[in-house]
Amino acid sequence: MDTSSEIFIFIGLICILMAAAVQKMMPSPPPTCVGIDLGTTFSCVAVFEDGEVTVISNRMQRSITPSVLFAPDAGTDAIVGEGARAAAASAAGTLVYDAKRFIGKRYEHDKTMRESRGLPFSVVPGPSTLRQQLEPHLELRVGGQPLRFAPEDIGTLVVHELKRAAEAYVGRNVDSAVLAVPVGFNAMQINATKQAAIAAGFTVLRTIHEPTAAAMAYGLHTRAQVHSVMVYDIGGGTLDVSLLNLNNGIFEVMAAAGDNRLGGQDFNLVLLEHLIESIGAKVHGGVQAIRDDHEAMRVLREEAERVKIELNDEADCSGRFEEGDRGEVEVSLPPALSSAAPVVIDRAVFEQISGELLKRALKPVSTVLQRVGMRAGEVDELVLVGGSSRMARIRQLLREYFDGREPNCDVSPEEAVAHGTAIQAAILTDRKKIAVGATEAALHAGADER
């Protein structure tokens, strides 16, 4: 080997050693921390990577995952999330949903019975060793044997699905999360929600209020002229309206009100009842024959939800539709009810039968403003959160209440809370440097005391 070759090899070795030394000296990248919205009806996970937020799709390539579990009567493994609804449509068993309504609550018999009316499983008292109180537990029968879940057990299974999706997306373990919780949750409920995420394998770096997360998703923490934000959040099962004050990046919940028995499912139900009555007048056996036919009822429930979505899906942020939109949807009937075809629902009928629900949908807005002594015109921003905020008439009512101002619809309402928690996660792990340290003092002061 000649001298020049030896020098070349020596220089190469020096470069390799220097590169290794530099790499060793460089700090390792901060751990990936995701944002999680564990919702009553649907849940969502998002991550801040490469300068932007990505809402992560589940195994079925959908951005939101149903917060449900299906336990087959055959005693086979339970199914969680996206596949649970499909399984419930084709196999005997129990679909467990609305678990978040009961999470971390103290068991009070009369109140619990009212809240559990109509659910396909029993809600019974069960001990919580962590919180040292009796809490509502969900009891169903599988293969003739009782099977009981604490509400956070369902939450854990749903969060585990989100964790799996996040890890598949980023290609490595994801062990840290920021978790959103409703404004109305007390310390016990927040604790139970955190325990659900911890049991799924997460370290929870912080919990933040859902409206705060939504406001961050809309980037309101970066707008100097924004001081008051109303977050109107209506999902599948609950309505929450919150008024936030923003001062130097610190969010504070000034007032909140809501309706924990009002959401998209309630609009589905009034439409289902309308379909049963309308079709019952045209078929042999009438309404009772329809109610006794489990398959027909399953199909009509699914159709009620589909019709509601299609009647509202093309509305803009103000609740307006393009000229020429007929606002009519034909209902697909099961074979047993085919003699009643055609059945068509139009938007005017839907809004008429939903009249009482729509009145309730606006009431918390006035309640919140009255509590702080503000007028609608003094609110700087109105943002929409939750899939049911897509309903055209709700958007129209809000626009009218706020004297013609359009709500802010820049972020998908189903994804806004997860989007905002991902931004908070990025701030905590130094993946996103923001001029103001966006957070919320009130919740975390409370969290430190727990």
The residues carrying an active-site annotation are 37, 100, 210, 233
Per DSSP, 376 falls in state G
Contacts of 337 (CB under 8 A, 6+ apart): 279, 283, 290, 296
Tell me the C-alpha distance between 117 and 119, whole Å: 6
Q: Are 38 and 197 within 8 A, CB to CB?
A: yes
Q: Are 402 and 379 within 8 A, CB to CB?
A: yes
CA atoms within 13 A on the CB side of 72: 13
Tell me the C-alpha distance between 417 and 41, whole Å: 14
Pull the structure tokens for residue 205: 């770096």
Tell me the C-alpha distance between 444 and 71, whole Å: 37
Q: Rounded to the nearest 10 degrees, how much is the dihedral formed by the CA atoms of 340, 342, 348, 349?
A: 10
Range list of H helices, 293-346: 294-312
User: Before 66, cis peptide (omega within 30)?
Assistant: no
The CA-CA-CA angle for residues 314, 42, 46, to 5°, reads: 90
301 phi/psi in degrees, rounded to 5: -60, -45
Tell me the C-alpha distance between 276 and 296, whole Å: 10
Per DSSP, 411 falls in state S
Rg, C-alpha atoms of the chain: 25
